[in-house]
């Protein structure tokens, strides 16, 4: 084999190995990025479920408290003689 053919073979082999390595590295990076997206989605869903559970608990507590005590709007309450709180006369 001539020297030119050996150099050509070595260069093409090195280029092919480099391309294969780059494609493998790129696929691993894409896979890691996709997995990170899945982890973020799972975390968002967990937070959403926690907030929903907290909201439901607060709603149930409000219902219980409304059964136990009466709630009135103090700004629109007619027992104040029709005057708004903080209004100067």
Summarised one tens digit per residue, pLDDT across range 51-70 is 999 999 999 999 999 888 87
Q: Does 38 have pLDDT greater than 90?
A: yes
Q: Is residue 43 part of a domain?
A: yes
Q: Is residue 64 part of a domain?
A: yes
Q: Length of the chain in residues, anyone?
A: 89
Q: What is the pTM of this model?
A: 0.50
Q: Is residue 79 part of a domain?
A: no
Range of the domain at 57: 29-68
Is 85 within 8 Å of 74 (Cβ atoms)? Answer: yes
Residues 5-23, mean pLDDT to the nearest whole number: 97
Q: What angle do CA 50, 54, 59 make, to 5 degrees?
A: 150
Q: Is residue 8 part of a domain?
A: no
């Amino acid at each position: 084999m001539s020297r030119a053919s050996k150099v050509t073979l070595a260069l093409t082999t090195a280029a092919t190995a480099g391309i294969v390595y780059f494609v493998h590295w790129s696929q691993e990076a894409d896979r890691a990025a996709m997995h990170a997206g899945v982890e973020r989605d799972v975390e968002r869903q967990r937070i959403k479920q926690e907030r929903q559970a907290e909201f439901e608990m607060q709603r149930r507590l409000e219902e219980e408290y409304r059964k136990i005590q009466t709630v009135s709007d103090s700004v629109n309450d007619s027992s104040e003689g029709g005057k708004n709180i903080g209004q100067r006369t």
